[in-house]
Every structure is written in C-alpha cells, then in structure tokens.
C-alpha cells in the first residue's frame, strides 16, 4: 500500500494587528477502507483549542478562535497516510438499467444535493456539448470518463488566472483555470445527465513530474456509478483518482470543502502563503523530519483588485514576451 507523508502550511500575514480571528479548518483526512490515517500533527500559532465535529457530508471539521491581537496566523498540518488501490467499475453490460437506477436517485437524500446544477450564462452551450459527447449506448462510467477527457482537452491549466471566488461564467469564458475550476465544470456536465457528482478536496501524491496539481491542495470530482459507488475522476490530469489521491473532504462545491477559512477584526490587507509537500518514500519512518521550513513556505498571493479576465490577459502577455 502506498504511504505518504504530507505537510500543509497555511500562513496569513496581516498589515496591522488583528483580533477575534474565528477559523474553520478541514485538514483531517477521510478515513475508510481505502485510506487510513496513521498519524497527524496539527500546530497553530497561539496554540488555540480546536473543537471538531462531523458535518452533514461526513467531513471532520475543526474550529478555533484567537482573540488576542496578532500579526501572523500559521496553521501547520502534517499527516501520515496509507492508501489502497480501488478496483475500477466493470464495463456495464446493461447500461440502460444503470440509467434507470440513476433516475430513481433524483429525489433520494443525499443525492439530491449532488444533482443540483448551478445556473450560469454558458449553461446552454455546455448542455449542447454534453448532448454531443454523450453516446446513448454508453453506461455512466464511460460517459463520466468521456466528460473528464473533454474538460482536460478543452480547458487550459493556468495558475493564478482564477481564485476561489471565480464564477462558472468566468471559467467558461476563459476556458482556463486550475483544478477546482476543472472539477466544477465536470460536475456541471455530470449533473446534466443525472449522474450525481460531488467535489473532492485533497492532495495528489504521484511522483510523476507531469501530473498537475502537486505542491498545493488539489481538487477533483466523484461521480456516483450504480452498483459501484463513488468514483473519483481527475479532469486536471484526465485520470481516475485512486491510490495517489489523498482525500480531505467531499461536498457540493469548493465552499463545502475549503481547507481553511475564517473571519477576523482588523485591516482587510493581508498576504496568504500556502505550501504543500509530499514525501513518497519511507514516509512512516520520517516522523522527526520537517518537510518544509515555515520561513520558506511557497508564496501564493492573489490580487483581488483585478478580475479573472484581466489576470488571464496579463499571464498570456507575459508568456508571449518570454517566447
């Protein structure tokens, strides 16, 4: 079974002291027959008490408050996880029966939440593409893979062009973004053909350099396949999410699964730094090693004064100048 040691550091630096910082974290890996948490070390500046609970979707959620004035908030999560390969669905022999099974889920909890579509201006264009790609004789598994391939081939992976607040309209207009944007588009496509689809946050732990999404939190989609269950599909890399994908949370969208979010009293100007690192070899034997020096965390800063299209055009111009 693959073993991974993952360190995830989030740091907020504020322009002036802030206080009454109330935060929610979803940094606790999902525990099931395909993923086992061996150990977790969670350290937070100020050493607040973290209360945990299980939310509606089965995720372990932590909450804490720091009342004292502070200039920096650092959240450092280090986990040791083992994963297990999950067999893929068999080729559907009776696809029509599977589609009938999916129709019966339209009014069944909790699938209702994962079938609800989000309206955006390009929805009719996307629906026309879905109808064109969808081969009627294919079962849900083949259709899900076909949709995944479409997103992978028709959307450009460009870091920094979108934010967590970017809308589906912007993503559709840009035909570009990162893993969370790809996951949201794929979910819309699956829900259009009545396949329940949910958002997954976590980490991609492949040692292959060509895999996109390493060095940060990753996101993908899970599609519900009758007689199989939830199948992870990664449109960012056009692959099935299996033993190299470590899951943190599932939900209707990014908002349900955000690793860290919160509010505070003080200046709105702040800098966000995020660093993720994965040790693929002898992970469980490196308990005393620190993967990332906190003082050298990878900086990820977003300029919220510009919209996604402006950021996209700036990135394209920079790429053209470098050629």
* CB neighbour list of residue 37: distance below 8 Å, 6 or more residues apart: 28, 29, 31, 79, 80, 81
pLDDT at 314: 52
Q: What is the pLDDT of residue 321?
A: 47
Q: Does domain 95-253 have CATH number 1.20.1600.10?
A: no
CB 14 within 8 A of CB 72: yes
Pairing of strands 176-177, 197-204: unpaired
Phi, psi of 188, deg, nearest 5: -60, -45
**259 exposed, middle or buried (CB, 10 Å; 0-12, 13-18, 19+)?**
buried
Cα dihedral: 127, 131, 135, 141 (round 10): 10
Residue 280, pLDDT score:
66
pLDDT reported for residue 302? 43
Q: What is the third-level CATH fold of 3-83+257-306?
A: Immunoglobulin-like (2.60.40)
Alpha carbons 51 and 259: distance in angstroms, whole number: 15
Q: Is 86 helix (H, G, I), strand (E, B) or coil?
A: coil
The pTM is what? Answer: 0.87
Instruction: Name residues whose C-beta falls within 8 Å of residue 50's C-beta, 6 or more positions apart in sequence.
Output: 25, 42, 44, 62, 63, 64
In whole angstroms, give the CA distance from residue 222 to residue 251.
Answer: 10
| pLDDT block averages, 10 residues each, the chain of length 323 | 93 96 98 97 97 97 97 97 94 84 93 94 96 89 97 94 90 94 97 97 81 84 96 97 96 96 92 89 43 34 47 48 48
Q: Name the E strands within the chain.
A: 3-25, 35-44, 51-54, 60-66, 70-83, 156-157, 176-177, 197-204, 218-225, 229-234, 239-240, 245-251, 260-265, 270-279
Q: In angstroms, rounded to a whole number, what is the distance separating the alpha carbons of residues 212 and 158?
A: 10
Q: How many CB atoms lie within 10 A of CB 157?
A: 17
Q: Are strands 245-251 and 239-240 parallel, antiparallel or unpaired?
A: unpaired
Residue 320, pLDDT score:
46
What's the pLDDT at 209? 59
Instruction: Considering the chain, tell me which residue range(s) the CATH 3.10.620.30 domain(s) occupy.
Output: 95-253
| pLDDT score for 310 | 52
How do strand 156-157 and strand 176-177 relate by DSSP bridges? parallel
**Where do the H-state alpha helices sit in 155-276?**
168-174, 179-192, 254-257
In the chain, CATH 2.60.40.2250 covers: 3-83+257-306
Residue 207 has a pLDDT of 67
């Amino acid at each position: 079974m693959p073993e991974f040691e993952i360190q995830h550091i989030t740091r907020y630096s504020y322009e002036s002291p802030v206080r009454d910082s109330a935060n929610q974290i979803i940094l606790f890996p999902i525990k099931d027959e395909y993923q086992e948490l061996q150990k977790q070390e969670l350290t937070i500046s100020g050493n607040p008490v973290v209360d945990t609970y299980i939310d509606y979707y089965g995720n372990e959620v932590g909450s804490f408050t720091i009342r004292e004035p502070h200039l920096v908030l650092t959240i450092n999560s280090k986990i040791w996880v083992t994963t297990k390969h999950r067999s893929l669905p068999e080729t559907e022999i009776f696809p029509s029966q599977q589609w009938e099974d999916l129709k019966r889920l339209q009014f069944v909890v909790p699938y209702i939440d994962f079938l609800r579509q989000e309206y955006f201006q390009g929805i009719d264009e996307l629906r026309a593409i879905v109808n064109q790609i969808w081969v009627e004789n294919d079962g849900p598994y083949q259709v899900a893979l076909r949709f995944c391939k479409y997103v992978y081939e028709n959307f450009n992976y460009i870091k920094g062009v979108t934010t967590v607040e970017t809308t589906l309209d912007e993503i559709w207009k840009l035909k570009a973004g990162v893993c969370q944007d790809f996951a949201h588009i794929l979910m819309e496509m699956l829900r259009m053909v009545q396949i329940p689809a949910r958002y997954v946050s976590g980490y991609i732990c492949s040692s292959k350099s060509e895999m996109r999404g390493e060095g940060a939190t990753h996101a993908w989609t899970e599609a519900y396949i009758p007689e199989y269950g939830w199948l992870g599909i990664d449109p960012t890399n056009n692959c099935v999410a299996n033993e190299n994908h470590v899951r943190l949370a599932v939900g209707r969208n990014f908002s349900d699964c955000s690793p860290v979010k919160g509010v505070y009293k003080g200046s709105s100007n702040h800098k966000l730094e995020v660093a993720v690192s994965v040790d693929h070899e002898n992970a469980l034997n490196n308990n005393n090693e620190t993967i990332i020096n906190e003082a050298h965390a990878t900086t990820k800063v977003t300029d919220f004064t510009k919209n996604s299209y402006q950021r996209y055009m700036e990135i394209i111009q920079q790429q053209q100048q470098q050629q």
